[in-house]
Amino acid sequence: MIGALVVVVLVALVALAVYGVVLTAIDRPPDVWTKRAVGVVVALLVVQAAIAAVQVFGGTPLPETSTFLIYLVVSVCVLPIATQFATAEPTRWGGAVVAVGAIATAVAVWRLDGLWVPGA
């Protein structure tokens, strides 16, 4: 994994979570900008997952490879699912759902970074 990319992804996830909280606070449902922001963050997550998967399947030994791969899949899947729930029935709480999805994804990415100990 690339340390700088992890930082960029975490900052993007925190910004998305703040955006979701602000949408909830001003009583607005998720809009097209929410979907675009989620799309950008998911694109970053897919790039990170692709790089990590290539390294793991290319032979980089990790102490907990299966746990790492599970977190990798979770990091890519949670945010699109949360966004689908948030936009299925647009209410003011949709922003909160996006915020919770972003926070959960940030925890998964942080855990991925902690599990990345090549050669251990």
| Alpha-carbon distances, residue 59 vs 36, 49, 93 (angstroms) | 35, 16, 44
Provide CB contacts within 8 A for 15, sequence distance 6+.
37
The C-alpha atoms of residue 62 and residue 59 are separated, in whole angstroms, by 9
Give residue-wise pLDDT tens across range 96-114: 999 999 999 999 999 999 9
Provide CB contacts within 8 A for 46, sequence distance 6+.
76
Would you tell me the crossing angle of helices 32-57 and 3-25 to the nearest 10 degrees? 160
| List of domains in the chain | 3-115 (1.20.120)
The C-alpha atoms of residue 96 and residue 116 are separated, in whole angstroms, by 30
pLDDT band (50, 70, 90) for residue 120: low
Give residue-wise pLDDT tens across range 29-71: 999 999 999 999 999 999 999 999 999 999 888 888 999 999 9
pLDDT band (50, 70, 90) for residue 119: low
Q: Computed from CA positions of residues 76, 77, 78, 81, in that sequence, does the dihedral angle turn out positive or negative?
A: positive
Q: H or E element: which one contains 82?
A: helix 65-88
Supply 111's token pair.
């855990």
Q: What is the pTM of this model?
A: 0.91
